[in-house]
Amino acid sequence: MHRQSAIDNPWTLDLRLWTPLVLLWSLLTPISASAQVTGGGWTISLYGIVQVEPGPDVAALEVKDEKVRFAIQNVQCSDRNFSAGRFMTDVTRKEPGLHMKGPDTWLEMLINEPPSKRVLQLTGVYHPDSRSFVLSKVQRFQGSVAPRQ
């Protein structure tokens, strides 16, 4: 009876050499998925004030069936592919600039916010293709807002 050696069967040799290399490569290679990109959108924070008058940095938000003007003071996103300038151009030159979605409590808070009273931080996922912004949190901001870069 003839036993096959690794030299007779090159596939056996290849698997024994490549398997540890592939495993090592998969463990040492960083995962490229970003926590900031969520289903084709970016997780961002908008800082600004609800206001009555239109202006160059004011986005018209469609909240339920109402229009809310929001003067954007700052936009933050940790993803390097996100452009605050492009975002501002997209949302301030269209009517409405953003279609707001999310829990009714956050949407009602936006609708009922008195104009020019306090800075709000709107956190959520922005989908540029549909200009929708899915709120995950709305809060009154207590700190100072750094200017947009």
Residue 39 zone, left/alpha/beta (φ > 0; ψ -120 to 50; rest): left
The rounded distance, in Å, linking the Cα atoms of 24 and 96 is 50
**pLDDT of amino acid 101:** 97
- Give pLDDT tens digits along the chain (149 positions): 555 555 555 555 565 665 665 555 455 554 433 334 446 799 999 999 999 998 899 999 999 999 999 999 999 999 999 999 999 999 999 999 999 999 999 999 999 999 998 999 999 999 998 999 999 999 988 766 555 55
**pLDDT of amino acid 142:** 75
Asked whether the bond before 96 is cis by omega within 30 degrees of 0, the reply is yes
**pLDDT of amino acid 36:** 42
Backbone φ and ψ for 108, nearest 5 degrees, come out as -65, -35
